Amino acid sequence: MKLLLAPVLFATLTLAAQKPPMKFGKIDKADLEMKVYEKDSSASAVILGDYGESMIDYTQQFEVVFVRHLRIKILTKDGLDWADHFISYYSPENSGTEEKVTSVKGTSFNLEGDKIVQTKLGKDGIFYSQENKYWKEVKISMPQVKVGSIIDISYRITSPFLFNYRDWQFQYTIPSRWSEYRPKFIEYFIYKQYMQGYLPLSTNDVSKGSQMFTIRTAATSSDVTSFGGGGRTSAQANTYTAESKQMRMVMKNVPAFKEEPYLSTADNYLSRINFELAGEKWPNSPYKDRMGSWGKINENYIKSDNFYKRITGSPFLGKIVDEVLADVEDATEANKASAIYQRVQADIRWNGYTATVASEPLRSANNKGEGNVAAVNLTLASMLNKAGIKVDPVLISTRSNGIVRTQFPVIDQMNYVICKAVLDGKTYLLDAPDHLNIFRAKRP
């Protein structure tokens, strides 16, 4: 069977009848004349308006569409850093698909005498780069920005990854006069949401509606599975009407976030709304859980070729273990683990990438002498396992990655793997990539 999807009627990207709070390119002259933001005289810049919309759209497949319009006033030289804007988008290596950033626009506004002068963003102010194996970045460098300027930036991100529904951040390190987000959902995709931060929403409205689309099935055999269930023996086109939910969330006069000493990461405290795909419910079909449970995640990792099987497999490491242990005089578990730990640190260097799985065989990483954090610590776990030591890999979230919300069993909350080893009856947590973390067994 070949399934072809084609839209017939769908909601437009204006997600509500109410107009957006601002129009691109139309600014207030009084904002250009502003010298100091009255609600925070120390502000180097102020977000005059930040407006975003998200929805589930449909062309040849369902996808998440996100549009944003950001307007910033530069007040001091320190605020000039805000003339550069960065857009991260998901582009997993070798996946054959990625998010798309399009419709990038920008305009700088300056007051020369009594005249408002506009300078449009050109192609020479847009730069693309690879952040890591999973994310790419668009950098926007706005032209002719100086103290007193206002900048307008807008763009669109289209994502085939329905799990990557865009979150929204209301608070930044500069104050914001107006921040508004309008996410829209259809009944087939169920998302859980959670707020963080201490600031209240000034507006939190929900309205209901509907969206229509058509799914066309082109049969290549007699076994045709329809949208939502039952079989058909010929090509058909069916129109479906899905219930929709439109949210409108607004924060006004948002204060700048001030970092304090000993703060783990600002991401834990910034006011924002987060979304996670929990499941799918199609017509005539049972609910499909997409979020799962921590138990299911654990089961998947145990079965994964890129995780637990790296530990129990990788037989080449057995020979290295034999070499290491041959030089251990007092063969307590602690002494054996200490020698293996030092060997891993000497043989394989961390390349700076955090991950919860080894993206390549451990032999490849060891031959190159480097790998992501999972490759290094799974090498350690595998060698400890082959030395007869009880070891378990442990998934964690680093301080910079943020706290783990246990009510949301989503593996993306984790970004690092370490080893838990039981040595002579005592439990140790080992992290070989950290060369400042030296593990030495105590000798009698």
Q: Say whether pLDDT at 122 is over 70.
A: yes
Residue that has been written with the tokens 């790296």 in this structure: 310
Per-residue confidence (pLDDT) for residue 261, from 0 to 100? 76
Are 54 and 169 part of one and the same domain?
yes
For residue 316, what are its two tokens? 């080449």
Are 67 and 130 part of one and the same domain?
yes
Are 261 and 306 part of one and the same domain?
no
pLDDT category, 437, cuts 50, 70, 90? confident
Burial class (CB in 10 A: 0-12, 13-18, 19+), 370: middle
- The pLDDT tens digits for 389-401 are 999 999 999 888 8
Identify the top-confidence range among 12-21, 258-267, 377-386.
Answer: 377-386
Give domain status of residue 270, yes or no: yes
Q: Say whether pLDDT at 78 is over 80.
A: yes
Are 42 and 149 part of one and the same domain?
yes
Last residue within a domain, chosen from 239, 267, 291: 291
Domain encompassing residue 230 = 2-291
Give domain status of residue 442, yes or no: no
Give domain status of residue 441, yes or no: no
Are 179 and 62 part of one and the same domain?
yes
Q: How far apart, in Å, are the Cα atoms of 337 and each of 317, 382, 429? A: 14, 11, 12
Q: Say whether pLDDT at 8 is over 60.
A: no
Are 261 and 323 part of one and the same domain?
no
Q: What percent of the chain has pLDDT over 90?
A: 64
Give domain status of residue 23, yes or no: yes
Taking only Cα atoms into account, the Rg of the chain, rounded to an integer number of angstroms, comes to: 27
Cα dihedral 292, 293, 294, 298, rounded to 10, equals -60
Assess contact for 260 and 210: CB atoms under 8 A. Answer: no
- Residue count of the chain, please give it: 444
pLDDT category, 43, cuts 50, 70, 90? very high
Assess contact for 77 and 104: CB atoms under 8 A. Answer: no
Give domain status of residue 231, yes or no: yes
Are 34 and 147 part of one and the same domain?
yes
What number is the average pLDDT over the span 219-231? 44
Are 306 and 175 part of one and the same domain?
no
Last residue within a domain, chosen from 291, 314, 339: 291
Burial class (CB in 10 A: 0-12, 13-18, 19+), 356: buried
Residue that has been written with the tokens 């626009």 in this structure: 105
Separation of alpha carbons 210 and 199, rounded Å: 32
For residue 89, what are its two tokens? 């988008």
Per-residue confidence (pLDDT) for residue 58, from 0 to 100? 83
Q: Whole-prediction pTM value? A: 0.78
For residue 303, what are its two tokens? 């079965």
Quote the mean pLDDT of the chain.
87
Exposure b/e, 30-53, CB count within 10 A at least 16 = b: ebbebeebeeeeebbbbbbbbbbb
- The pLDDT tens digits for 341-363 are 999 999 999 998 888 988 788 99
Give domain status of residue 125, yes or no: yes
Are 301 and 271 part of one and the same domain?
no
pLDDT category, 329, cuts 50, 70, 90? confident
Of 410, 424, 241, 395, whose CA–CA distance to 332 is shortest?
A: 424
Are 83 and 232 part of one and the same domain?
yes
* 3-class state of residue 82 by DSSP: helix
User: What's 247's domain CATH number?
Assistant: 2.60.40.3140
Last residue within a domain, chosen from 235, 267, 291: 291
pLDDT category, 17, cuts 50, 70, 90? low
Per-residue confidence (pLDDT) for residue 12, from 0 to 100? 36
Assess contact for 194 and 408: CB atoms under 8 A. Answer: yes
Q: What percent of the chain has pLDDT over 70?
A: 90
Query: Domain count of the chain?
Result: 2
What number is the average pLDDT over the span 83-102? 92
Q: Say whether pLDDT at 198 is over 80.
A: yes
pLDDT category, 225, cuts 50, 70, 90? very low
Find the range with the poorest average confidence among 36-45, 211-220, 412-421.
Answer: 211-220
pLDDT category, 9, cuts 50, 70, 90? very low
Find the range with the poorest average confidence among 60-69, 113-122, 196-205, 433-442.
Answer: 433-442
What number is the average pLDDT over the span 196-201? 92
Separation of alpha carbons 436 and 53, rounded Å: 45
Separation of alpha carbons 163 and 160, rounded Å: 9
Give domain status of residue 439, yes or no: no
**Per-residue DSSP letter, 148:** T
User: What's 343's domain CATH number?
Assistant: 3.10.620.30
- The contacts of residue 401 (CB under 8 Å, 6+ apart) are 265, 267, 354, 413, 414, 415, 416
Are 264 and 331 part of one and the same domain?
no
Are 92 and 203 part of one and the same domain?
yes
